[in-house]
Amino acid sequence: MMSRNKEMMEGKCSQGNLGKRNLNPKKWNKVKAGVIAGAMALSVFGAYSAFTSVTDTKVNTFNIVAGEDGAQTGTIVEPSWDEDNAKNMLPRKTVAKDPKVVSDAEYETWVFLTVDVPTFQATLNGTADVYDAVTPNFNADGKWTLIKSEKSSTAGTDSRYIYGYKDKVAAKGETSSLFTEFTVPDFTKTEALKDSIDISGRMIQTEGYATLAEAAAVLGLD
């Protein structure tokens, strides 16, 4: 009897020990799960706790020059011109006239001059036709380039010649003279004429326009 009771008690003890062994993994899993959850929480917390910082500040000062599209920023000067010398002109007569541009701009520019020359009916080298009344010695110093030429075939209208200065003109700088004189051709027959050579200029900043040709195109001169 005692032997049987002992066996039964040992069996219960064995079952109890087995039950404890079966519970221990569950407790371990709970503990383990708690640690993982804690690690995840710590990881998330760490992602929102990054170090932040700032840099120094650079102040880049600039200025824009004064200017206005279409405003007059240059003057045509003719140091040698004397209007009295151009009165009652005869064939082959030459008169000094030396137009150049003095820039008033605060910036570098491309410069263009347009020259309108009156025409009339005359005879030259035995041929009666419409001719320019006078002939300027354009580009005497080689520093100008012809942009456009429109010779008139109708007496009483003007021929037009547009030249550009090859070099960029510095702020407050100036060009050379487009021509230094004009001459009445050796006509053998002419009509009386009282008219004028009209000269006008255009300027444009060089910034953004790398070449003279590009500047002429933007201004509609080509």
* Measured torsion, CA atoms of residues 10, 15, 20, 24, in degrees rounded to the nearest 10: 130
**φ, ψ of residue 98 in degrees (nearest 5):** -135, 70
Quick check: 214 and 132 in contact, CB under 8 A? no
- In 3D, which of 192, 175, 150, 169 has the Cα closest to residue 99? 175
The separation between CA 123 and the C-alpha centre of its own chain, rounded to angstroms, equals 49
First to last CA, the chain: 130
DSSP 91: T
Quick check: 160 and 115 in contact, CB under 8 A? yes
- Structure token pair of residue 62: 């600039």
Query: Can you tell me the distance from the alpha carbon of 4 to that of 56, in angstroms, rounded to the nearest whole number?
Result: 89
- For tokens 């050379």, name the residue: 176
CA distances from 51 to 54, 139, 217 (A): 11, 70, 57
pLDDT in tens, the chain (222 residues): 444 444 444 444 444 444 444 444 444 444 443 443 444 444 444 444 566 556 566 565 555 655 567 677 899 999 999 999 998 999 999 999 999 999 999 999 999 999 999 999 999 999 999 999 999 999 999 999 999 999 999 999 999 999 999 999 999 999 999 999 999 999 999 988 989 999 999 999 999 999 999 999 999 998
Type and span of the H or E element at 116: strand 109-124
